[in-house]
Amino acid sequence: MATVTFDKATRIYPGSEKPAVDQLEIETEDGEFLVLVGPSGCGKSTSLRMLAGLEDVNGGSIRIGNRDVTHLPPKDRDIAMVFQNYALYPHMSVADNMGFALKIAGVNKSEIRKKVEEAAKILDLSDYLDRKPKALSGGQRQRVAMGRAIVREPQVFLMDEPLSNLDAKLRVSTRTQIASLQRRLGITTVYVTHDQVEAMTMGDRVAVLKDGLLQQVDSPRNMYDRPANLFVAGFIGSPAMNLVEVPITDGGVKFGNSVVPVSREALSAAADKGDTTVTVGVRPEHFDVVEHGAGDTKTLSKDAPAGLAVSVNVVEELGADGYVYGSAQVGGEHKDLVVRVGGRAVPDKGSELHVVPRSGEIHVFSTSTGERLSG
């Protein structure tokens, strides 16, 4: 097993001045499951391909363990890659597909068979070893691709969106299998996905990229609780965090007809930047639906209900919970908001809610720079 280090690794494609990956710095621990996530074109697959040796590195270096592999060919890096499209040989049986790399390496037949059968047992493929790929479902083909990687016993697994061709239900069960398999084998894994739910449920740590730049690398819980900037705040979480620009007032921020207290550190940091407004982030589950004058806030007017008036446009009932998708007037602009409510107390479409964010659960960001201001 081995650590993986990106040390200011940079990739600039020919004919482009802007790096696809710009001075990426990440250290992955031995046996860790690291997920690279971000929108399309953010550089996550390019980063993985640089690590695999499939893309040139134009600046910085990449190390696997203590070895600098920056300019080594893929075959000398001791890695195994699982692709999005499985990349199986259609004319070979499952067993031959799984053992092909060992055959090329000159391993004897009995040893290959032993390793293939061991991997097939782990992946529940023992009954399919004599079948051709065309006789398998998408999920089974993906497990064959995983088995081909496992039999090689590499130092590092690389996975490039391996679940994107599966249907939604199979994707959920397969991601659980991959995560538990990785913990069982203890092999360092770098996994690329555009699906932030996949990233949050599978990774020991998650690295968020945007436009080739690393935005934050942290545990899923820390990233959810303390996003480093507005991009991470809006990207991580499903439904996404509500982000609302609000004016600063004495002791807090003005949120509709209420003043919501925020930390003095956040307010002084905003003042240092010359901001008169901040962007407040509130997760859908951190809104309280309030009656007239209720909640941990000051109401600015005796006649107006506390908080922000939200017009209910759509209600998603999920059984235990419900999500209200509505719109509100904030600072003279229409703003879409998502509020989680109890599954037994969902409002009617077209009705109006008054909501107040819980003061201890709000995130404060600089409107000018997007950086996190709250502790």
For the residues 343-359, what does the mean pLDDT come to?
Answer: 87
HSE-CB at 274 with a 13 A cutoff on CA atoms is 2
Say which residue, 55 or 268, is predicted with more confidence.
55
**Residue 218 in domain:** yes
243-284 pLDDT tens trace: 999 888 887 888 887 888 888 888 888 888 888 889 999 999
pLDDT at 97: 92
Dist. CA 337–CA 311, nearest whole Å:
9
Q: Answer whether 0.85 is exceeded by the pTM.
A: yes
pLDDT at 169: 86
pLDDT at 298: 53
**294 and 334 belong to one structural domain:** yes
Mean pLDDT of the chain: 89
Buried b (16+ CB within 10 A) or exposed e, 183-216: eeeebbbbbbbbbbebbbebbbbbbbbbbbbbbb
pLDDT at 158: 95
Q: How confident is the model at residue 113 (pLDDT cuts 50, 70, 90)?
A: very high
Q: Is the pLDDT of residue 189 over 90?
A: yes
Last residue of a domain, one of 234, 260, 276: 234
Q: Output phi, psi for 236, to 5 deg.
A: -95, 125
**219 and 313 belong to one structural domain:** no
**183 and 258 belong to one structural domain:** no
**272 and 230 belong to one structural domain:** no
Last residue of a domain, one of 172, 207, 234: 234
Q: Is the pLDDT of residue 67 over 90?
A: yes
**Residue 324 in domain:** yes
pLDDT at 295: 45
**161 and 255 belong to one structural domain:** no
pLDDT at 174: 86
**92 and 117 belong to one structural domain:** yes
**Residue 372 in domain:** no
For the residues 201-227, what does the mean pLDDT come to?
Answer: 95
**161 and 210 belong to one structural domain:** yes
126-181 pLDDT tens trace: 999 999 999 998 888 888 998 999 998 899 999 999 888 888 888 888 888 889 88
**Residue 143 in domain:** yes
Dist. CA 7–CA 48, nearest whole Å:
14
Q: How confident is the model at residue 1 (pLDDT cuts 50, 70, 90)?
A: low
280-296 pLDDT tens trace: 999 999 999 885 444 44
For the residues 294-316, what does the mean pLDDT come to?
Answer: 69
pLDDT at 56: 94
pLDDT at 117: 92
pLDDT at 166: 83
| Inter-residue contact 5 to 52 (CB < 8 Å) | no
For the residues 312-326, what does the mean pLDDT come to?
Answer: 91
Q: What is the CATH number of the domain that holds 292?
A: 2.40.50.140
Q: What is the CATH number of the domain that holds 196?
A: 3.40.50.300
**209 and 299 belong to one structural domain:** no
**Residue 294 in domain:** yes
Q: Is the pLDDT of residue 314 over 80?
A: yes
Q: How confident is the model at residue 216 (pLDDT cuts 50, 70, 90)?
A: very high
Q: Is the pLDDT of residue 221 over 50?
A: yes
The domain tally of the chain equals 2
**49 and 197 belong to one structural domain:** yes
328-337 pLDDT tens trace: 987 778 889 9
**Residue 373 in domain:** no
Domain limits for position 291? 242-366
| Inter-residue contact 141 to 128 (CB < 8 Å) | no
For the chain, give the percent of residues with pLDDT over 90: 58
Last residue of a domain, one of 189, 212, 234: 234
Q: How confident is the model at residue 6 (pLDDT cuts 50, 70, 90)?
A: very high
For the residues 15-21, what does the mean pLDDT come to?
Answer: 93
Strand order, beta sheet including 252-255: 298-299, 258-261, 252-255, 242-249, 277-282, 363-366
**Residue 280 in domain:** yes
β pairing state of 258-261 and 252-255: antiparallel
**214 and 304 belong to one structural domain:** no
Relative orientation angle of helices 94-104 and 109-122, to the nearest 10 degrees: 130
Q: What element of type H or E holds 47?
A: helix 44-52
**212 and 333 belong to one structural domain:** no
**139 and 253 belong to one structural domain:** no
Residue 134's CB: how many other CB atoms inside 10 A? 9
pLDDT at 292: 40
Q: Is the pLDDT of residue 303 over 70?
A: no
24-48 pLDDT tens trace: 999 999 999 999 999 999 999 999 9
| Inter-residue contact 306 to 299 (CB < 8 Å) | yes
